[in-house]
Amino acid sequence: MSGATHLPIVDLAPFLNGTTSEGDPTDDRRRTVDTLDAACREIGFFGITGHGIDPTLFDRLDAAARAFVALPEATKSEIAMAKAGRAWRGWFPLYGEMTSGRPDGKEGIYFGIDHPPDHPHVLDGSLLHGSNLYPTEPADLGPAVVAWLEALRPVADAVMSVMAEALGLEQSWFADHLTGDPTILFRIFHYPPAATTDTEWGVAEHTDYGLLTLLAQDANGGLEVRRRDGTWMPVDPVPGVIVCNLGDMLERLTRGRYRSTPHRVRNTSDAHRFSFPYFFDPSWDATVPTLPLTPDDDEPAAARWDDADPTAWEGTYGDYLSAKVAKVFTDLA
């Protein structure tokens, strides 16, 4: 797939709504499984259709995000990340996050599952556990975020069911072993025009940490994916298509059969680019095994951007994620 110029498209409708075409629904399900399996083996990125999400939910979220970003920094700083403490929620300014040791040309807002004060990991002070910081204005941002998270959860579960079948596992394997109480994080990212140069990035080359990322993006391009031959492929936005990519824990789980693919972002347009990544990851206390699988060896994978080996990690996912995130916001860590 090194010559690919566009992402493969996986139709989730057979796993969410029955069948997508006349005839045997088993054929539609098999087609979905085979398409996802090939995409995971060859590039680690794919587009999702048939997810059933009302497009007005995205429009609502996008409008609220733009309204918030347009506010003065003094107003936005009322929900600054430092105010959330170890929960690591809230707003950060342009160049306030780092990737590969360099400041990103973006600002953003971090959200996650709203954990009550008596949640065990709130009580024990675990990172990334606590309550979201929702702004007072625009008043609809908080409700729009909650509605979007509720809409995406069934999509994430369906992708994991398809993936389990593709790997020869029971459809409920991920829910039974890794995602019964998933770590769910959500971001709103704003990439201003002209915030980067030819040698700077909105987000530098990286891979994601967990299992899946489900990305919604506006009409302004900028996302690029590294092919296995080392060249870069732009991921052009398509209305209604959610982009999915695999994280390091899936590379670990499958011993490299499924790829955690490097990607990067630069806003080359004259417009303000917004993207909305939803991270669906293992339970905080889960340990991620390595399945008895062999990697595809017909074409070697390009060297990882960080020279890391995801299969070398030992411990819980919470420990792994804490160590990673501490390098992104060093002041909070």
Instruction: Give Cβ neighbours of residue 119 (< 8 Å, ≥ 6 apart).
Output: 129
For 61-87, the pLDDT digits (tens) are 999 999 999 999 999 999 999 999 889
State how far the Cα of 27 lies from the Cα of 79, in Å rounded to an integer.
49
Question: Is the CA virtual torsion 227, 187, 251, 169 positive or negative?
Answer: negative
The model carries a pTM of: 0.92
**pLDDT single digits (tens) 109-131:** 999 999 999 999 999 989 899 99
Question: What pLDDT band is residue 55 in, cutting at 50, 70 and 90?
Answer: very high
The predicted pLDDT at position 102 comes to: 79
- DSSP E strands in 96-152: the ranges are 98-99, 102-103, 107-112
Superfamily the domain 15-325 falls into: B-lactam Antibiotic, Isopenicillin N Synthase; Chain (2.60.120.330)
Percentage of the residues of the chain whose pLDDT score is greater than 70: 89
Rounded-to-integer distance, Cα 119 and Cα 142, Å: 21
Whole-angstrom distance, CA of residue 56 vs CA of residue 240: 10
CB atoms within 10 A of CB 67: 15
Whole-angstrom Cα distance, residue 135 to residue 71? 11
The pLDDT of residue 21 is: 46
Which tokens sit at 278? 């939803």
The domain spans of the chain are: 15-325
Q: Count CB atoms within 10 A of the CB of residue 206.
A: 18
List phi, psi (to 5°) of 41: -75, -35
- pLDDT of the residue at 2: 39
In the numeric block, the tokens 């595809």 are attached to 296
